[in-house]
Chain A
């Protein structure tokens, strides 16, 4: 039983294309996130949704648009892909219980390669 799943696992595309990455969690969590891990392994938060409402929007180009159709899903759409968008994108979710103390559960990651 996968707690946080992402599709696709690998995505190779040309510059200028539009692509989406899907994320689903079956943990009943309220909050979901998108992180970007660059080639140097640096992990940085991009977005967070709580109960389908956007609560964190870091300095991310507006070519990136998250969409949360329901609490269990948080998708990431990227327009006009650029070479610098190549990275591993992680989805994560967190339960409400201990507030900021709850750990985030991460998906397996989507490796995006822009050619």
Chain B
């Protein structure tokens, strides 16, 4: 069965600090996708990034960067120079193929990030 572990329940940082959110996954599939979603205090779920199992290239988007390491089954997310607006719950998720054409997302338990002034 698929499993996603986000061991950090809550992280508090001061603005401008860098912070890394950890994600470790388990799957027997050779082809899979990993995702990060952000849930700000307003409650909606916002897609941040997708990474497939064959692409271990790290990705950077502005202050956000992602480090995918298949050898350790990890897909960590780093925010550089954090800002108060980054305060949110961040979810890592793993996608598996479902018969019938859909996919099923298994979510981690989320990491609550609090960025303070």
Contacts and interface: CB of A to CB of B under 8 A. Distances in A.
Interface stretch (B18-26, B63-71, B75-83, B91-99): B91-99
Chain A contact residues (Cβ within 8 angstroms of B): what range? 20 to 34
A43 B107 contact: yes
B91 A48 contact: no
Contacts of A43: 91, 107, 110
A101 B100 CA distance: 15
B3 interface: no
Q: Which of B31, B91, B98 has its CB near the most chain A CB atoms (within 10 A)?
A: B98
A103 B50 contact: yes
A93 to B, nearest CB: 10
Given A41-B109, A43-B107, A96 B45 contact: no
Interface of B is mostly: strand
For chain B, the bracket of interface size reads 20 to 34
Given A43-B91, A100-B32, A94 B100 contact: no
Contact of B44 (A48, A51, A100, A106): A106
A55 B98 contact: yes
Contacts of B16: none
Given A42-B109, A111-B43, 7 more contacts: A30-B101, A31-B101, A41-B39, A42-B110, A48-B98, A100-B32, A106-B45
26 contacts: A31-B101, A31-B102, A40-B109, A41-B39, A41-B89, A41-B112, A43-B91, A44-B107, A50-B100, A50-B101, A55-B98, A55-B102, A56-B98, A56-B104, A88-B43, A92-B45, A94-B102, A99-B103, A100-B95, A100-B96, A100-B97, A101-B95, A103-B35, A103-B47, A106-B37, A109-B45
Interface of A: 30-31, 33, 40-45, 48, 50-51, 53, 55-56, 88, 90, 92, 94, 96, 99-106, 108-109, 111
